[in-house]
């Protein structure tokens, strides 16, 4: 007996789970890998102090003013920038899809609970990923122009041509990333106060970082860093490195045969994994080209409220529109202090 079917053939089942995109963890904020300063609306003053003392031959006479003790306090105003992520969502396009089943009865109701739970809720981790990237990579257009205008040189106290190339290739953002701020800022605490090149320590004679060279390049960072930073047992520094360095480090560590040299210490696994070089923990962040060795207190993200990152305002557009708005807003800026103790690879 012949079986005859007339009509369009459709799949009769579907996978229940909607596979979500993978978002880069915003660990810099969550784990406070840098100094997160909250409670600032539009701007703040950053103070730095420094005392220098000079010993002199003891005297039984009265103390006179001779500038052998210098007490210095510098104030630098830092302006915060407000940024937002917002858009209009029109769920009419979800009609005739699986999401229609979770819409309430009534032609006016087009909000799908399933869509909200499976797709819309990803807006927050996507914002987290975007902010994490912004603080490690990118610069304002004005900063890019200023950095491009610096006179390059090989020695300390001048920017490398490589750094200018990296900054030119950075995304143009509304805020400066930490590397951009390290390279160029208007701190009043620098050797030459005001807008210009930062006082960072530059790693010289750098080469392309591959699994074969990564140990040698990290040795250069370690050797360049000021001893005061390396030897500080109370406030231990971190190395901030591009995400891809983790793979290069493990490939380098696990080379087979004569090439094997275990230069990096890898402890634990998964969320508790720690990777370190000469006792300095490496934090893998979305840096591009640059690497930073610094006391985390000297790298600052100044913001209104960190939880603004996960706050999503959703509401009806109004006036009869069958649409909803999504809006997330936050205010932040990156800043650096004690710049001469920040080592910048690629700078």
Partner 1 sequence: MAEAKDKTIEEQRHEALTAEITAKKKEIKERKAEEIKEGFLNPLGEGTSYAEFQKAVADSKKSIAEYCKGKLEKATIEWIENEIKQIKE
Is 153 a binding residue for partner 1 by CB under 8 A? The answer is yes
Q: Which is nearer to partner 1, 148 or 262 (CB)?
A: 148
Number of residues that bind partner 1 (CB under 8 A): 21
Q: Which of residues 254-273 bind partner 1 (CB under 8 A)?
A: none
Burial class (CB in 10 A: 0-12, 13-18, 19+), 282: buried
Piece of the chain touching partner 1 by CB under 8 A; list 2-10, 111-119, 156-164, 173-181: 156-164
164 binds partner 1 per the rule CB under 8 A:
yes
b/e string for 101-126 if b means 16 or more Cβ within 10 A? eebeeeeeebbbebbbebbbeebbbe
| Beta carbon nearer to partner 1, 296 or 346 | 346
Tokens of 168: 């030119």
Q: How far is the CB of 149 from partner 1 (least distance, A)?
A: 13
| Nearer CB in complex with partner 1: 202/324 | 202
Q: Does 158 bind partner 1 (CB under 8 A)?
A: yes
Q: Tell which one of 156, 210, 231, 232 touches partner 1 (CB under 8 A).
A: 156
Is 72 a binding residue for partner 1 by CB under 8 A? The answer is: yes
- Residue 251 CB neighbours (<10 A): 13
Residue 157 sits in the site that holds partner 1 (CB under 8 A): yes
H or E segment at 217?
A: helix 214-224
Helix segments in 108-213, DSSP class H: 113-118, 123-136, 141-148, 161-169, 178-183
Q: Residue 337 region, left (φ>0) first, then alpha (ψ -120 to 50), else beta?
A: beta
Please answer whether residues 131 and 301 qualify as being in contact, where contact means their C-beta atoms are separated by less than 8 angstroms: no
In the complex, minimum distance from the CB of residue 190 to partner 1, in angstroms, rounded to a whole number: 10
Site for partner 1, residues 179 to 238, rule: CB under 8 A? 191-193, 204-207
Which three-class secondary structure state does DSSP give residue 330?
A: strand
Q: Does 251 bind partner 1 (CB under 8 A)?
A: no
Task: Find the shortest distance in angstroms from Cβ 226 to partner 1.
Answer: 16
DSSP state letter for 341: G
Task: Identify which of residues 174 and 223 has a Cβ nearer to partner 1 in the complex.
Answer: 223
Q: Which of 22, 63, 151, 258 binds partner 1 (CB under 8 A)?
A: 151
167 or 229, CB closer to partner 1? 167
**Two structure tokens written together for 112:** 């799908």
What is the nearest approach in angstroms of partner 1 to the Cβ of residue 266? 27
List the strands of the sheet with 291-294, edge to edge.
Answer: 201-202, 343-345, 291-294, 238-242, 280-285, 274-277, 264-267
Q: Does 288 bind partner 1 (CB under 8 A)?
A: no
Q: Cβ of 208: how many Cβ atoms within 10 Å?
A: 7
> Is 133 near partner 1 (CB under 8 A)?
no
201-202 and 343-345 as β-strands: parallel, antiparallel, unpaired? parallel
* 77 sits near partner 1 (criterion: CB under 8 A): no
Q: Minimal distance in Å, beta carbon 153 to partner 1?
A: 4
Instruction: Supply the DSSP symbol for 343.
Output: E
Identify which of residues 29 and 290 has a Cβ nearer to partner 1 in the complex.
290
Q: Please give the DSSP secondary-structure letter assigned to residue 180.
A: H
CB atoms within 10 A of CB 216: 13
Residues interacting with partner 1, by CB under 8 A? 72, 151-158, 160-162, 164-165, 191-193, 204-207
């Amino acid at each position: 007996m012949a079986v005859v079917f007339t009509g369009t053939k459709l799949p009769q089942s579907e996978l229940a789970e909607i596979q979500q995109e993978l978002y880069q963890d915003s660990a810099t904020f969550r784990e406070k890998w840098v100094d997160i300063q909250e409670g600032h609306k539009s701007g703040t003053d950053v103070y730095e102090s420094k005392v220098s003392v000079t010993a002199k031959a003891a005297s039984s006479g009265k103390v006179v003013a001779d500038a052998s003790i210098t007490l210095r306090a510098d104030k630098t105003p830092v302006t915060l920038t407000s940024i937002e992520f917002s858009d209009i969502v029109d769920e009419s396009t979800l009609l005739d899809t699986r999401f229609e089943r979770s819409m309430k009865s009534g032609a006016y109701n087009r909000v799908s609970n399933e869509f909200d739970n499976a797709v819309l809720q990803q807006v927050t981790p996507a914002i987290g990923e975007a902010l994490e990237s912004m603080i490690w990579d990118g610069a304002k257009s004005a900063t890019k122009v200023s950095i491009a205008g610096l006179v390059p040189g090989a020695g300390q106290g001048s920017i490398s041509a490589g750094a200018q190339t990296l900054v030119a290739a950075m995304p143009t953002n509304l805020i400066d990333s930490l590397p951009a701020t390290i390279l160029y800022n208007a701190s009043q605490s620098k050797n030459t106060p005001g807008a210009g090149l930062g006082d960072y320590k530059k790693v010289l004679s750098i080469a392309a970082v591959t699994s074969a060279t990564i140990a040698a390049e990290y040795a250069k960072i370690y050797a360049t860093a000021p001893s005061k930073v390396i030897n500080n047992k109370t406030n231990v520094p971190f190395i901030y490195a591009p995400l891809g360095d983790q793979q290069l480090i493990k490939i380098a560590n696990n080379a087979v045969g004569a090439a094997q040299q275990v230069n990096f210490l890898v402890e634990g696994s998964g969320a508790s994994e720690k990777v370190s070089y000469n006792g300095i923990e490496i934090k893998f962040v979305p840096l591009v080209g640059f690497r930073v060795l610094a006391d985390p207190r000297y790298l600052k993200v100044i913001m209104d409220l960190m939880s603004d990152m996960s706050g999503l305002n959703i509401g009806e557009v109004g006036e009869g529109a069958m649409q909803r708005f999504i809006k997330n807003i936050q205010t932040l800026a990156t800043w650096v202090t004690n710049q001469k103790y920040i080592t910048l690879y690629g700078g």
